[in-house]
Amino acid sequence: MKMGILIGYYHKKSGARDAVSKLKREGYRRVSWIHKNAQGKINRSWFGVNKQLISDHSRWLCNDETVLILQAPLEKLHQPSSLLSKSAQVPPTVFILHPLRERSTKEVWPWQISCTTEELQEQAQRLAASHVIDPRPLRDIKLLKRLKQSRSWVQTACQDLTEANRLEQSLPPTAEWLLDNEYIFEDFVNYQADMILHAGFPDIPLSPPHSEASQRERSKI
């Protein structure tokens, strides 16, 4: 169960305190409010919220600003988000923070210099001209591993975007495009996997959909 963080910024401390009370009545226990007065003094409550979150938001607050912090499973954050938007005369500014994901690869990419479109085209032409096709079958699974890794990245991104959409968070057009066209990527990945297998392992039968015998052979690679 993935834990998320809901952050709500209030103009008045009373609005945040009332919201905390309502959330507690709804069964949300890991919730707290922090207020910084005009002189910069911090007042706060403690109700099971991560201490580092309390410390960070205490430093980030502007004078005369109040923040509400709620920690709960991601799938349960829709209700408190709706509750906060209706609980005050001036609705708070609400953000939902998703948990950070660990990198699925230890590969380190060097920093690159930004290129213009013309420079990218020239680089692509030089790279293409330097490639040499080896007619011998390369019985290697490196490309298959890369393909599997790329598929995993896209699937993970789509899962996160779907969760954000379920929580009624706004999505940029690029995210909507990815969700709408994920099936195209899946089809392309499956096609490329077949082509790699056919080129490097011609003795493995390929037929869509793959037979049980073919799947057993593929799983051994």
The Cα diameter of the chain in Å comes to: 76
Q: Quick one: CA dihedral 186, 188, 194, 196, positive or negative? A: negative
Q: Domain 3-97: give its CATH code.
A: 3.30.70.120
Q: Residue 178 contacts by C-beta under 8 Å, 6 or more apart in sequence?
A: 154, 157, 158, 161
Q: Note the pLDDT of residue 138.
A: 64
Contacts of 6 (CB under 8 A, 6+ apart): 68, 69, 70, 71, 72, 77, 80, 81, 84, 94, 95, 96, 97
9 vs 118: CA distance, rounded Å: 45
Q: Which residues contact 40 (CB under 8 A, 6 or more apart)?
A: 63
Q: What is the pLDDT along the chain (221 residues), one digit of tens a residue?
A: 688 999 999 988 899 999 999 999 999 989 999 999 989 999 988 777 888 888 999 999 999 999 999 999 988 888 888 888 777 678 888 898 888 776 655 555 555 667 788 888 898 898 888 888 777 766 667 878 888 888 888 998 898 888 888 887 888 898 899 999 998 988 888 888 887 777 666 554 444 444 455 445 445 54
Return the pLDDT at 211. 46
pLDDT the model gives residue 75? 84
Q: What is the pLDDT of residue 208?
A: 47
